[in-house]
Chain A
Amino acid sequence: MMKSLPITIDSVRKTYGSYVALDDVSVDIKAGEFLTLLGPSGSGKTTLLMALAGFVRPDSGKLLLGDRDITRLAPNRRDIGIVFQNYALFPHMNVLANVEYPLALRRIPKAEARQRALDTLARVKLDGLSERGIAALSGGQRQRVALARAIVFEPRVMLMDEPLSALDKNLRETMQYEIRRLHDDLGITTIYVTHDQREALIMSDRIAVMNSGRIQQIDTPQRIYDRPSTRFVAEFMGEANIVAPGSVRRIDGADASREALMIRAESFHLDAKLVGRDGVALEGTLRAKAFRGENWLLTLALEGGQEILVCIPAALASGCAELASGQRVTAYAPAAKVHAIPGAAA
């Protein structure tokens, strides 16, 4: 196992003219951690990754690798493995030459380099393809070559820029597990950029949700999903309903919160018995319903006109097929799934 290093991102700022790409971003990443930068396009996640790689120079702030300041270090001296979005494999070299490339630059003897490259190719399940040209590879195979090339020189940190965005859904899911397993085997500090929230939830130790050049929240996947600290995080991470305290009542009659509440669509039940006496109830008129295979999606209009999404698992939704538009429906949610968002008025 290689020795991995922690990363410190300290008040990094980057502007392009009047556009603020990174707005005082600070993150501490532990050695061996898998951290995902998650956000919509233009949120600054790729800029932050490129700053770590050395291709973007921050206007101010510091980047530390271990306790070494790398803010102004040339990219080729950072010893960071990078997997690029389009893989960036060298088209004039075959698979083996691509993977040997970083070893050749380090003047590792040819025979040893070949052995290490072949071992790494076996590790990413590409044995037998070492003599192939890059053009003769499928998207998934290219992805694996890019991975092999990024880890073969045993960097202490790995950066991945939306590495799976070009793959189809099934392959993407397979690769998510494989990349995570590779990370666990190598114990290498990894920063992973994606705009896919499911991918972030599945793969990460922690997720940093970014928007407009700022980190909105940095936390474990579960807390990001269940306990979002801002309205943006709540809505970016899934089907979130943010309702004013007035439209929610406690089943046991106690006072509901005075802050805006977030309840995820899939936290609802139509049966009050399933949520307990400290749960909440919302009453509305059915506007639309859709069968989505594993669940039903109901759209309810509350008293004030706000629409909420209610998602009922197919197994618990025996009555859903009979519901008619305009009918009064009460949705219940357990207290544990009701989350107050400070300062986010509905």
Chain B
Amino acid sequence: MTVLADPALAADARRERQFFLSLSLPALFIVGLAAILPIVWIIRQSFLTTGGEYTVGNYEKVLSSGLTWSALATTLELSLGTLAICILLGTPLALALASARPRVANLLMAFVMLPLWTSILVRTYGWLVLLRRDGLINAALTGSGLTAEPLPLVYNFTGTLIGMVHYMLPLFLLPVYAAMRDIDANLVRASASMGATLGQTIRTVILPLSSGGIFSGSIIVFIYTIGFFITPAVLGGGKVNPLSTRIERTLSTFQDWGSASVLGILLLVLMALVGVMFLAARRLIAGRRVGTAYA
């Protein structure tokens, strides 16, 4: 923002800023009420026994349980797995979209966005129809003789991962596509004119210049998937239990609000940790942002 020398203009600008800030108050109020208060409540709850007395017993119980750590491991496996597949599938897809002609790109984008407009529950049960032992995919596989037995595609880790990738891919794609579309086409031409193959141009020009978008997409994927509940619950068939399903079970089966709160806090800490790691990594990359074509 420019510095205004005239005091009258500066006062005007200040009033304007204050007005714009005041516009954000309703949103801030709702965020405070809907996000911060419950967190405070959960933290308090985690230190209380069912009788309402102060205790650290909830922490001892949850952190010493093997179930907690296996749930944590499952959560990380699902999140990192989804992220890896999103990067592997989404980055080339974003590249294709960004280099397609505008009309084709818009059409493809509509296809990509379509799932986002559908309820997650509908989509998850849709996958169930496709992936079941007697579902469409297995019927096609066994019918054509490609496999003798139906493949175990659902009610396991694979099925959960498929459902999660399907949900996250558009959300990963959007920031990556936006970053790639913003790359000046002349940069790609310049690179080619100096002798770069398409692969070299992608590696030395397109990927470094869209790393910001890939980063944002990755954070979105991670933060979403770390708390995913419906997909593991439906497609996991009880065998895939990340922290979210453990919280649900602790509440619905044992009505143990104290332990559930501890698990919730664990999820929160995990998210904060990952967030800090991402930001640190981003700063590290930005710090040595001098690219080069030399490996």
Contact B186–A79 (Cβ < 8 Å): no
Contact of B6 with A by CB under 8 A = no
> Which residues in A have their C-beta under 8 angstroms from that of B186?
84-86, 88
Q: Closest A residue to B200 by CB, please name it.
A: A105
Contact B192–A93 (Cβ < 8 Å): no
Contact A104–B294 (Cβ < 8 Å): yes
Encode contact with B along A109-126: 1 for CB under 8 Å, 0 otherwise.
010010000000000000
The complex places the Cα of A78 from the Cα of B196 at a distance, in Å, of 11
Contact of A313 with B by CB under 8 A = no
Contact B194–A88 (Cβ < 8 Å): no
How many of B's residues come within 8 Å of A, CB to CB? 23
Contact B294–A55 (Cβ < 8 Å): no
Given contacts A93-B291, A97-B293, is CB(A88)–CB(B195) below 8 Å? no
> Which residues in B have their C-beta under 8 angstroms from that of A54?
192-193
The complex places the Cα of A178 from the Cα of B238 at a distance, in Å, of 74
Residue in A88, A89, A93 whose beta carbon sits within 8 Å of that of B290 in the complex: A93
Contact of A285 with B by CB under 8 A = no
> Which residues in A have their C-beta under 8 angstroms from that of B197?
76
Residue in A84, A104, A110 whose beta carbon sits within 8 Å of that of B189 in the complex: A84
Residue in B184, B196, B291 whose beta carbon sits within 8 Å of that of A86 in the complex: B184
Contact of A102 with B by CB under 8 A = yes
> Which residues in A have their C-beta under 8 angstroms from that of B293?
97, 100-101, 104-105
Encode contact with A along B14-55: 1 for CB under 8 Å, 0 otherwise.
000000000000000000000000000000000000000000
Contact B189–A105 (Cβ < 8 Å): no
Contact of A94 with B by CB under 8 A = yes
Residue in A82, A104, A106 whose beta carbon sits within 8 Å of that of B190 in the complex: A82
Contact of B65 with A by CB under 8 A = no
Contact A100–B194 (Cβ < 8 Å): no
Given contacts A53-B189, A88-B186, A105-B200, is CB(A76)–CB(B291) below 8 Å? no
Given contacts A86-B184, A88-B184, is CB(A53)–CB(B193) below 8 Å? yes
The distance from the CB of B276 to the nearest CB of chain A, in whole angstroms, is: 25
Q: Closest B residue to A93 by CB, please name it.
A: B291
Contact B190–A105 (Cβ < 8 Å): no
Contact B187–A90 (Cβ < 8 Å): yes
Which A residues fall within an 8 A CB radius of B? 53-55, 74-82, 84-86, 88-94, 97, 100-102, 104-106, 110, 113, 133, 149, 153
A-B residue pairs in contact (CB < 8 Å), sample of 24: A76-B194, A76-B195, A76-B196, A76-B197, A80-B193, A81-B193, A82-B189, A82-B190, A84-B186, A85-B186, A86-B184, A86-B186, A88-B190, A90-B190, A93-B291, A97-B292, A102-B195, A104-B293, A105-B194, A105-B196, A105-B293, A113-B294, A133-B290, A153-B195
